[in-house]
Each structure stands twice: as structure tokens, then as C-alpha cells.
């Protein structure tokens, strides 16, 4: 293969290791199946169809691939949860809802490299025994829905989708299903309800683990776009070789999406855990804007807990225990979890010292209050209450006690809801308050200490 | 909730945007598009409710009561099932938008990049009363009916903030100073 050239200004950073994003912004690249096949596309699919399905799952297990949608659950292990002796149809769903604030990676795959996703999906469907697969695409990607459907037609014409794929006897249909602008459809059981044509109210787990009771109450594997693309590369490299990328228990590459206050925001595909926070922000992204300092970072989508730039963390146990600074954090699932946050969906939002934390918190609270599906009371009421409280902090009418109330509300949601949205909405509040309490309290007026807006209005009226 | 109460809830209000959309009609073309989509869900017709509503909204601008009845008949379900879906999703509208519908991302990275300023400027240029935009009125249409605005949540392009959608076209790096050029590129 000749040396790959990228579009001017879009060249990968030297620290990148591109598998999934190899063709993104590539010169001379387009979404057609001819271009994809001229580059070795669908070779792994042909190979997969000659293998035992179980052998593919085993390769994925060996690779150590962990889901890139948010929770970081091992993909091969998830596939193994389909009940043995199952007689119902099995479904594969590709989660392309990409709606966690700060995340923008799946977008480029479905717009620029649709066949990579299809190849990953057909291999995965064959491994889990699915004959029907859906791509759940967020409504706000209208162009991608067209691109993917066109690519599916091309793949069908070449015999990679449909009946008796490539003469193997394996049948698979893939359909694009568009959502309608609701974040909760990213949650896998909400997604399934939505795909069934109902309001996307998440189901309670247990018992509704999709791998056993998913779409139409049949076994269903839900995987993120990026996770499914990795499957193709795992077959190409072999699970063992793939596992050599990255670090122990955090293998392979992943796409970090950096936004906010850095000179060069963007997407960077790196080996998991091989880069520290300092290297990512200062070397890869060019550091903070001129004259500014990094104040804090939200490391894995807006629901992950914020990290202060001046924090230190105790990680590891026993002999391995050590103290590290914010800048030394290795960007992998386990290190970020040990620092009290999470790698989540890979959306890194950088905030500099010009940002007020009350404003940041309020923006986040508006998102979750808008997106709660409303099914359970702590989340529905709590998210709105949190929004109202932070509205008051921002508009200067909050009492110092309101900070405490806000924190209490967050802890009343966390762990008490049907789905993980409860944590997603309360973690940012808990973390921002615990790490920036003084700054928030300074914004509440001491003079207004015991007076609400209504009380103040009343006082003003009486003083007339 | 009874069907009657729900129907009152979703009763479409007239907007100046209506002039740009034909009234709902289940033409042969629409029927064919719907039948093709229903085929994608051999296990359950109800699954086609979102795709059918998308067809309706794409062609007629919003989801009217007549359209809900048609979708329900098509899928052989009670209209209330369709109504409950329409009223849940922010992606479905019950009133006509403008000819050019602007959806500006308001989530963190875009807000940091100036998306609220973008919204203010867009409203100024298009003659939309910015103060009317609220949680209860997520969409505001300009008096001339050519434009409407709405805030969107994270559009998954935070690295190129601020971003917006104009109908189905995506635009990145749209700071307030680029609003005029953007509006000019969509001549009514
Ligand atoms: C509130 C909420 C929103 C989510 N949004 C997304 C999303 O937009 N995209 C995604 O891939 N996963 C999302 N997830 C995670 C999915 O539930 C699921 O774990 C994931 O799609 C599994 O794929 P993976 O194992 O490949 O990561 C979300 C989870 C929650 C709780
Ligand atoms: S936690 Fe929130 S989003 Fe999840 S089911 Fe309950 S109300 Fe819905
Ligand atoms: S915050 Fe606007 S695209 Fe993500």
C-alpha cells in the first residue's frame, strides 16, 4: 500500500496510532465501496465467514477490547452473555446515538468511512448469530443516514449483505433506524424501546439485560460504532497482536475528542493509556490559549467527574500505590477510574481560568434537565431542581445554603434511578461542588443570605 | 390520559411558516415510502413509527393530527400510541417551522465557543423575537415565515464549535460574526 496522504491541515499528530480513523480526512478517499475495497476493504469479512463464530468471539475476548460507548465493558464478554441454547432470533444493534456532550468520533466514521462500520457489523453479527441488525442513528445526522443507506445498498449489490453472504450460507439484513433528538436513546435499553416504536423509557436491569432480553424480548447485542469498527482490526491483526497496543487491561487504540479551551481541539486516535493528560493537552492540542491556564478538565463526556488541574491523586494499592499529579494521569479506563472519574466516551472538555464554574455547571444542568426521560421521580424532579438551583447561582440570587441543597439533591438521585442517567446527571454536580465549593459560595450573596427572591421583593415592597 | 385530552395537547397552532409546506396528504408517493420503511421491521410494525413520522415531517414540515391518524392506521395501532411518541421526542414538531429552520447547539463546548451569541445574532438578522424562545416555546418562527430557530443539545461536533443545522445542512465554526453570511446563503 502506498503511503497514505491526508488533506492539508488535517494530518494526524505524530503521536497518533490510526486504525479506526485511518481513512478520515484521507486524500483521494470517498465513501464508495470501490474505494474501500481497493484498500483491502471486506477482506476481513471474507476471512471471518470461513471461521467458526465462536473463534471470532474468542479473538475479541483475547484482544481485551472494551466498549467505546461509555461504560468500557469488555465486548467479547458481552457477546458471551447470549443465553446458551437460545432459540429466539438474535439482534445486533449499532449504537450511533452519539449524544454524550463532548463526544464527536462516531460522526466521522458514519460520514466518511461507512463501509468500515458495515464490515465490522457483518463480522460481529456473524459471531453472535444475528440475522437482523439495526444502526440506531441520531436524528441530527441526516446526511450520515443517507450515506450509510447508500453504503448498505452497495454492500448488498456486492453480496456482503443479504442472503448467503459471499457464498457462506450466512444471511444478514442491516437497516438504518433514525432517532428523534432524545439523548436517552443512547442508553441501550431506552434505545431498544425506541426501536420498538415506544417512548424510550429505559428498562430496569436486572432482568432486562439486552443480551438476554433485548429487542422484542430476544437476545440483543448493543455496541457503539467505534467498538464495532475495532472488531475488523482485531481480526486483521489477531487478538493477541491487538492486545499489545495500549496498556494492560486497556488495550488497543481509542479516539479522544478534545474540545473547549485548547489551541488545537479535534479528534486524536491514540493507543489507550500511552498518553498522559499533560501530553494530550500541551503537546497534542497545543496547550491552553495564549495568556490562559488550564483550570479543569472533564475527561470522558459531560457526565464524567471533573478534574482540577492543581489536584493530585493517590492511585494503586499496596506496593503499587503512588501519588500523581493531574498532568501525569494516564488516559485509560482504570487510571481515570482510580482518579475518581471515568474515561467514558472519550470526550475531553478543557476549561481555562476564564471560565466560571457556576456557568459551566448551569450549562450541564440544563442539558440533563432537558434530557431526563421523566420515568423515575428522583431523576425527573431532581434534574429540574438542580437546573433551577444553578440558574439562581448564575443570576446572583442564590444563598450560600443553596449550594448545600444542590449537593443534597444530587446525592438523592445518584444510585436511586432506573438507568445510569441518574448518575450521569448527578456526578457533574457532585464533583463540581466538592472541588469548587469556595468559588461557588463566593458567587452567592452574603447579604441575601436568608432571603429568597420573593422575600426580597416583599421587603422592597414593605419599605416603599 | 384519554385520546381526546391528548389530541387537544397536540393540536397544531397556525404559524407563518405554514405557507411553505403542503397540507398533509397521503399521496401514492408517501404511501410507497412508508411501505418501504415498514418492510425493515418484520417482527413488529410499530417499530416503523419513527421512520413514518420522519417521512411526514420531512414532507409536510410538522406532524398534524391528520398525520397521526394516518400513521396509526398504517401501523394498525391506536392513535394514542403514535401521539405518545410524537409528544415525547424533541425531534418531532407539532407546528410548522420556517422555510429555513436553524438549530443552534447550546451545550457546553458550543456555549463556550459563543453559540448563545450566535443565536442572538440570528434572531436579530431574521427578525425573530429572541425573548419568545423558552423551554415551553422551543421553536420560534419569524413573522415572514421564512425562518425559525431552536436550540439543540450537543450535535456531536464539539471540536468545531459553535455549530448549527440549517434544515438538514450542518455548519461548523459558526461564530456570531459569520451569522449574516450564513443567513444570506439561504435565500428564500
Ligand atoms: C444516559 C446514557 C446515554 C448513553 N449514550 C450513548 C451514546 O450516545 N452512544 C453510545 O454508544 N453509548 C451510549 N451509552 C452507553 C450504552 O448504554 C451502551 O452501554 C453502549 O452502547 C454499549 O456499547 P459498547 O459496549 O460498545 O460501549 C449511554 C448510556 C447512558 C446511561
Ligand atoms: S434515570 Fe432518568 S433518564 Fe433514566 S429512566 Fe429514570 S427518569 Fe429516565
Ligand atoms: S457541544 Fe455543540 S456539538 Fe457538542
In three-state secondary structure terms, A74 is: strand
Q: Suggest the residue from B41, B71, B154 to mutate for an interface test with chain A (most A CBs closer than 10 A).
A: B154
Structural domains of chain A in order of their starting residue, each with its CATH number: 33-243 (3.40.50.11540), 246-352 (3.10.20.600), 357-442 (1.20.1440.230)
Question: Locate cell 450535535: which residue?
Answer: B155
For residue A122, give every residue at least 6 positions away whose Cβ sits within 8 Å of its Cβ, in sequence order, or none: A45, A48, A155, A160, A161, A165, A172, A174
- Check whether B61 has a pLDDT greater than 90: yes
pLDDT class of B5 with cuts at 50, 70, 90: low
- DSSP-assigned letter for residue A218: S
For chain B, give the percent of residues with pLDDT over 90.
90
Fold of B100-184: Glutaredoxin (3.40.30)
User: What count of Cα atoms within 13 Å lies in the side-chain half-sphere of residue A291?
Assistant: 1
Using CB distances shorter than 6 Å, the residues near ligand 1 are: A 67-71, 73, 75, 95, 97-100, 184, 186-188, 222-224, 227, 419-421, 424
pLDDT along chain A (464 residues), means of 10: 86 97 97 98 98 97 96 96 96 98 98 98 98 98 98 98 97 98 98 98 96 97 98 97 96 97 98 97 97 97 97 91 96 96 96 96 97 97 97 90 96 96 98 96 72 66 66
Task: Say whether the ipTM exceeds 0.85.
Answer: yes
Touching check for A346 and chain B: CB below 8 Å?
Answer: no
Interchain proximity B88–A181, CB inside 8 Å: no
User: Considering CB atoms only, which of A140, A215, A360 is closest to B165?
Assistant: A140
| For residues B138-150, average pLDDT | 97
For residue A260, give every residue at least 6 positions away whose Cβ sits within 8 Å of its Cβ, in sequence order, or none: A349, A350, A351, A352, B108, B109, B112, B158
pLDDT confidence of residue A22: 97
Expressed in angstroms and rounded, the spacing between residue B125 Cα and the centre of ligand 2 is 39
Nearest to A229 by CA among A250, A249, A254, A246: A254
- Residue of A65, A69, A195 to test ligand 1 pocket, by largest number of atoms within 8 Å of CB: A69
The residues that bridge with A255 in the sheet, in sequence order, are A269
- Check whether B124 has a pLDDT greater than 80: yes
Cβ-contact B95, B181 below 8 angstroms: no
Tell me the three cell numbers of residue A103. Answer: 463526544
User: What count of Cα atoms within 13 Å lies in the side-chain half-sphere of residue A361?
Assistant: 34
**What is the Cα–Cα distance from A34 to A40, expressed in whole angstroms?**
10
pLDDT confidence of residue A2: 60
For residue A309, give every residue at least 6 positions away whose Cβ sits within 8 Å of its Cβ, in sequence order, or none: A293, A294, A295, A296, A297, A326, A327
For residue A432, give every residue at least 6 positions away whose Cβ sits within 8 Å of its Cβ, in sequence order, or none: A306, A357, A360, A361, A440
The sheet carrying A266-271 orders its strands as: A266-271, A253-260, A347-352, A294-298, A307-308
**Cβ contacts of A299 on chain B, cutoff 8 Å:** none
Spell out the domain ranges in chain B. Answer: 3-88, 100-184
Question: Locate cell 407539532: which residue?
Answer: B94
Question: CA triplet A28, A34, A37: central angle to 5 degrees?
Answer: 95
Interface of B with A (CB under 8 A): 40-51, 53-54, 75, 81, 84-85, 88-92, 103, 106-109, 111-112, 135, 152-161, 165, 168, 170
Expressed in angstroms and rounded, the spacing between residue B130 Cα and the centre of ligand 2 is 31
Amino acid at each position: 500500500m502506498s503511503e497514505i496522504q491526508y488533506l492539508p491541515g488535517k494530518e494526524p499528530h505524530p503521536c497518533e496510532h490510526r486504525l479506526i480513523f485511518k481513512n478520515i480526512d484521507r486524500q483521494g478517499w470517498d465513501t464508495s465501496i470501490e474505494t474501500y475495497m481497493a484498500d483491502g476493504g471486506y477482506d476481513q469479512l471474507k476471512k471471518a465467514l470461513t471461521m467458526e463464530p465462536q473463534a471470532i468471539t474468542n479473538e475479541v475476548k483475547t484482544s481485551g477490547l472494551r466498549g467505546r460507548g461509555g461504560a468500557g465493558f469488555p465486548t467479547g464478554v458481552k457477546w458471551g452473555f447470549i443465553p446458551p441454547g437460545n432459540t429466539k432470533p438474535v439482534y445486533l444493534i449499532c449504537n450511533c446515538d452519539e449524544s454524550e456532550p463532548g463526544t464527536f468520533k462516531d460522526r466521522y466514521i458514519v460520514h466518511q468511512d461507512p463501509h468500515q462500520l458495515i464490515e465490522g457489523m457483518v463480522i460481529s453479527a456473524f459471531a453472535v448469530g444475528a440475522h437482523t441488525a439495526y444502526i440506531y442513528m441520531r436524528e441530527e445526522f441526516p446526511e450520515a443516514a443517507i450515506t450509510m443507506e447508500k453504503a448498505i445498498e452497495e454492500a448488498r449489490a456486492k453480496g456482503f449483505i443479504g442472503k448467503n453472504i459471499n457464498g457462506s450460507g450466512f444471511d444478514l439484513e442491516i437497516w438504518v433506524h433514525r432517532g428523534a433528538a432524545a439523548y436517552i436513546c443512547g442508553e441501550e435499553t431506552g434505545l431498544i424501546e425506541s426501536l420498538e416504536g415506544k417512548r424510550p423509557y429505559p428498562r430496569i436491569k436486572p432482568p432486562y439485560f439486552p443480551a438476554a432480553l433485548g429487542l422484542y424480548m430476544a437476545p440483543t447485542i448493543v455496541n457503539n460504532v467505534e467498538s464495532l469498527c475495532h472488531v475488523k482490526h482485531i481480526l486483521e491483526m489477531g487478538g493477541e497482536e491487538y492486545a499489545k497496543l495500549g496498556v494492560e487491561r486497556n488495550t488497543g487504540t481509542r479516539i479522544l475528542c478534545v474540545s473547549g479551551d485548547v489551541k488545537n481541539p479535534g479528534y486524536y486516535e491514540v493507543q489507550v493509556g500511552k498518553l498522559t493528560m499533560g501530553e494530550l493537552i500541551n503537546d497534542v492540542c497545543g496547550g491552553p490559549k495564549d495568556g490562559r491556564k488550564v483550570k479543569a478538565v472533564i475527561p470522558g463526556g459531560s457526565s464524567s467527574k471533573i478534574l482540577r488541574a492543581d489536584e493530585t491523586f493517590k492511585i494503586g494499592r499496596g506496593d503499587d500505590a503512588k501519588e500523581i499529579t493531574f498532568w501525569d494521569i494516564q488516559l485509560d479506563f482504570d487510571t481515570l477510574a482510580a482518579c475518581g472519574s471515568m474515561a467514558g466516551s472519550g470526550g475531553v472538555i478543557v476549561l481555562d481560568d476564564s471560565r466560571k464554574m457556576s456557568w459551566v455547571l448551569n450549562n450541564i444542568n440544563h442539558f440533563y434537565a432537558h434530557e431526563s426521560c421523566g420515568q423515575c421521580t428522583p431523576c425527573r424532579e431532581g434534574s429540574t431542581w438542580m437546573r433551577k438551583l444553578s440558574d439562581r447561582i448564575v443570576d446572583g440570587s442564590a444563598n450560600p445554603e443553596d449550594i448545600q441543597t444542590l449537593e443534597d439533591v444530587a446525592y438523592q438521585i445518584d444510585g436511586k434511578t432506573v438507568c445510569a442517567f441518574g448518575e450521569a446527571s448527578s456526578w457533574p454536580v457532585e464533583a463540581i461542588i466538592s472541588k469548587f465549593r469556595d468559588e461557588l459560595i463566593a458567587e452567592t450573596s452574603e447579604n441575601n443570605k436568608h432571603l429568597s427572591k420573593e422575600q426580597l421583593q416583599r421587603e422592597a415592597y414593605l419599605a416603599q | 390520559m384519554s385520546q381526546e385530552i391528548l389530541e387537544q395537547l397536540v393540536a397544531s397552532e397556525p404559524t407563518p411558516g405554514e405557507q411553505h409546506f403542503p397540507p398533509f396528504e397521503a399521496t401514492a408517493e408517501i404511501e410507497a415510502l412508508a411501505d418501504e420503511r415498514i418492510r425493515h421491521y418484520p417482527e413488529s410494525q410499530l417499530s416503523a413509527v419513527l421512520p413514518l413520522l420522519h417521512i411526514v415531517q420531512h414532507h409536510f414540515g410538522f406532524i398534524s393530527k391528520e398525520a397521526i391518524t394516518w400513521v396509526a392506521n398504517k401501523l394498525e395501532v391506536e392513535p394514542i400510541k403514535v401521539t405518545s411518541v410524537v409528544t415525547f421526542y424533541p425531534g418531532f414538531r407539532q407546528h410548522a417551522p420556517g422555510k429555513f429552520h436553524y438549530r443552534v447547539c447550546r451545550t457546553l463546548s458550543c456555549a463556550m465557543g459563543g453559540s448563545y451569541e450566535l443565536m442572538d445574532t440570528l434572531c436579530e438578522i431574521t427578525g425573530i423575537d429572541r425573548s419568545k424562545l423558552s423551554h415551553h416555546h422551543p421553536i420560534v418562527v419569524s413573522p415572514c415565515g421564512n425562518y425559525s430557530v431552536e436550540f439543540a443539545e450537543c450535535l456531536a461536533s464539539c471540536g468545531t464549535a459553535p455549530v448549527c443545522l440549517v434544515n438538514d445542512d450542518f455548519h461548523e465554526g459558526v461564530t456570531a460574526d459569520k451569522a449574516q453570511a450564513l443567513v444570506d446563503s439561504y435565500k428564500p
